[in-house]
Chain A
């Protein structure tokens, strides 16, 4: 179609200028005429009966406009769950109401009891302090295993033993059991994949307004998917007509999953603006973010991996308990099931796999998709087991992986790889990434240095993680069969302006990923025009016809493909207009490098620029009979399969024998995300993802006490990775194109987080084994105390 002037190049980001000069436009920056401000009264208890709510003193406070309690929204629906997973016996999962304000019982710290709306945020905050709530504290349960025991406090009456659902996938358990029984060696690991708090640096913020005269609502929201929010809020919560509701996700300061979900505050503010007929804004404090933004992970797992005498994996058996928190967040049920169980094949030829999962309610913040969502948990499980297996069998962990890798396949000449757990991988060259990683590391030299260090009383370790993920989410019919209540296509609308400039409207949303650059690179190349002639518009339900948003590393694979479809339609119509202009046959018209030409013709009058043809489409004075004017196409793209990025992450650590402190000396990431449009942006995604994974391995973890209090709910207590905690990240790419989407891309947003945590933990375990400490597991985060204790046993 054209030579690639932009695709594959590290084009500097077009969106940067507004951010580096302070002119970004985030929700909290927006103030509307007659603006009011909301502040919430929230349960200080993990589990409590609400005996009374007295708002009389608060109502008399200066500036108060309105106060609403649970009684006011008694007849309003709660926020819905978007994915239904059924019990093994076919029964519908337990799906208790998640009310906008709680009336009788608070089920986790932070559950909203009342909202105060006032003229200023300070007045709203002051008056919220004056609302008197009488509570009767009830026993709470925070641990998923304890929640299932006899006599445990019940979070919801409708969910006996706090069980939300149970679920299984893979080969029949009897077959897996007997394969394990026949194995020469079985590695068993019981471990916790701890709860994480996403911590996008922009706290969630909403600003809802109601135009009484036109009966129209506008909601500004810090979301990853404005159309999904509009759909869920209108259809399932408030019963509003969608065409009367505009949802705008302007600049959004990071998401990492936590801004996918439809939160109670979004619906409540939209409901409240209708009551007071004034705009109402709420910006979460960081303390509220810790308590309310959906958390991630929180699995308790026991897993067994069997090996034969040659080190070939014979079977994998997994039993997992997943903590859902107090309510079902929007996509919570699919995370430990369809985004976790389906990835347990990993990169290996394991012939028998079974997962048995139970999802449980507790008096904690709801848990949902957090960067990687299920796939980091699957990778952690597999990569810890195979590394530990190598140690136990006295084999080399890299060699053991090479023995077990699925052989290379491109998905074109060789078919996709059918796993034991439902998915069919698209294309892969798994040994390639490990080979490259080992070269970058200098593996042999490292092992020599490690031995020497051990002789000198120093503990050096290397940890591997060879991961795969399912991205490009997802074929609608497939996810529909698995319980999704939404489809997962994307919309791409290409509007050619009469001058030949392009406005592209995408249902994807950028909150750091750089869509305004990457998508423009693709469009400019495909049409052979300068990048400045392309504007990418996203995040406004009134500008963009529809969209499913950004998560699951899907933007380019799905959203980009939808744009490509529209571009193809533009070119096809352009050819008709050109054929008429040239008085040539349509079949003889070619489009290349931004020009329509008659194939093989040397005449300059047989060539027209893209902008010539665009102008003709809008001023159709000399125009093909029966062809509509205009050059404007919208397309829906529904992928035929997931995409499967993969890679190899390697961590090198030194453990301080005296203190247990871990120093991360090197981190190597070789990722294969398919074709790459902008290497600079892909590298940036990998860097950030890797450090989030390092955060899980070494620093982060939500801690609850027995009463359901989050005891580290601030940056003073929850340890975020900081600049002086991490090294430079050494990145490299391998390219195995995706065979089933037009750009051949697989997605890069989550790879870093999925691959990195087990590499770091494996490295620490390797360091300990090098010093004779045959430690199987250390619970993440690997604080100096935990590592030190592990060495004492």
Chain B
């Protein structure tokens, strides 16, 4: 038995027949071949598969593909605006927030949601937001710095914008 789903992923509409038991992460990786979303565990504990479903950071191993029917999805491949990197993609590179790169897409996706909700998070806010994602390489130090860096840049950019508006 298969079921028909329609999803919009990174701005592109897809219609596919899928097995009802297919996990959303497998749909993205195996059906759409968007392999930037990774699988690091089988208990929804590591966060490597984090994507945005209707703008909400979601572990894509906790959802069935059929549950995503009608949803709008953003994966790591869809985060940059063409060749212009997302500020978090920039900041992870700037602050050495990644080593092997395997947890990185999940880390960036969950951080993107944090910065949307809290434009100026403290170290503690960041650590709490990241506690559902495991990194074995960085000791989290430079990931925390990366998120702070992106936040500071955003705050700065907004300040400049406001100043310009006032002028």
Interface residues of A (CB under 8 A from B): 12-13, 15-24, 26, 28-29, 31, 122, 199-203, 251-254, 256, 283, 285-287, 511-514, 680-681, 683-684, 687-692, 714-716, 720-724, 726, 728-729, 752
Contact = CB atoms under 8 A, between A and B. Distances in A.
B102 A729 contact: no
A512 B100 contact: yes
B19 A22 contact: no
Contacts of A511: 100
Given A684-B142, A688-B137, A723-B130, A286 B36 contact: no
Contacts, number: 176
B126 A20 contact: no
A248 B140 CA distance: 30
Contact of B108 (A20, A122, A256): A20
B40 A286 contact: yes
A26 B38 contact: yes
Contact of A720 (B104, B126, B134): B134
A724 B133 CA distance: 11
A512 B98 CA distance: 8
Contacts of B130: 722-724
B134 A201 contact: yes
Contacts of A17: 93
B76 interface: yes
Interface string B117-142: 00000011011101101111111111
Contacts of B85: 20-21
Interface string B74-113: 0111011000010001001110101111111100100000
A17 B143 CA distance: 16
A728 B45 contact: no
A569 B26 CA distance: 50
A682 to B, nearest CB: 10
> Which one of A17, A24, A692, A729 has the greatest number of beta carbons of chain B within 10 Å?
A24
Nearest to A681: B96
Nearest to B77: A22
B30 to A, nearest CB: 8
28 contacts: A13-B96, A19-B98, A21-B89, A22-B76, A26-B35, A26-B38, A29-B29, A31-B33, A122-B19, A199-B134, A199-B136, A201-B48, A202-B102, A253-B102, A254-B100, A254-B102, A287-B42, A688-B138, A688-B139, A690-B139, A691-B141, A692-B136, A715-B45, A715-B46, A715-B134, A722-B131, A723-B140, A726-B140
B60 interface: no
A688 B137 CA distance: 5
The 3 closest A-B pairs by CB, nearest first: A22-B36, A19-B101, A253-B102
Contact of B41 (A254, A286, A724): A286
Interface in B33-84: 33-43, 45-46, 48, 75-77, 79-80
B104 to A, nearest CB: 5
A716 B43 contact: yes
Interface residues of B, number: 56
Given A22-B35, A201-B102, A687 B139 contact: yes
A660 B19 CA distance: 49
Contacts of A16: 92-93, 98, 101
A22 B37 contact: yes
B144 A723 contact: yes
Contacts of B101: 15-16, 18-20, 24, 251, 253, 512
Contact of B76 (A21, A31, A202): A21
In this complex, the member of A26, A681, A728 whose beta carbon has the largest number of chain B beta carbons within 10 angstroms is A728
Contact of B100 (A252, A683, A728): A252
Which of A201, A680, A714 gathers the greatest number of chain B CB atoms within 10 Å? A201
Nearest to A288: B42
Contacts of A729: 139, 141
Given A199-B136, A286-B42, A724-B131, A21 B80 contact: yes
A333 B45 CA distance: 34
B35 A29 contact: yes
A23 B141 contact: no
A256 to B, nearest CB: 7
Given A287-B42, A722-B134, A513 B99 contact: yes
A229 to B, nearest CB: 18
A700 to B, nearest CB: 11
A254 B100 CA distance: 5
Contacts of A728: 123, 141, 144
Contact of A200 (B42, B100, B138): B100
A691 B142 contact: no
A688 B100 CA distance: 11
Contacts of A689: 139
A512 B97 CA distance: 11
Contacts of A256: 136
B99 A254 contact: yes
A24 B29 CA distance: 13
**Which of A17, A18, A22, A728 gathers the greatest number of chain B CB atoms within 10 Å?**
A22
Contacts of B103: 201, 253
Contacts of B142: 684, 687
Given A684-B138, A723-B130, A203 B34 contact: no
Given A722-B131, A723-B126, 13 more contacts: A12-B93, A16-B92, A20-B85, A21-B89, A24-B36, A28-B39, A122-B19, A201-B46, A253-B40, A254-B137, A681-B96, A715-B43, A724-B124
Nearest to A23: B36
Most chain A beta-carbon contacts within 10 A, residue among B40, B80, B85: B40
A688 B77 contact: no
A688 B43 contact: no
A21 B128 CA distance: 24
Given A254-B137, A715-B41, A723-B130, A19 B19 contact: no
Contacts of A122: 19, 21
B100 A726 contact: no
A22 B100 contact: no
Contact of A691 (B33, B76, B128, B140): B140
Q: Which of A18, A28, A752 has the most CB of B within 10 A?
A: A28
A689 B136 CA distance: 9
Nearest to B105: A22
A203 B139 contact: no
Contacts of A286: 40-43, 46
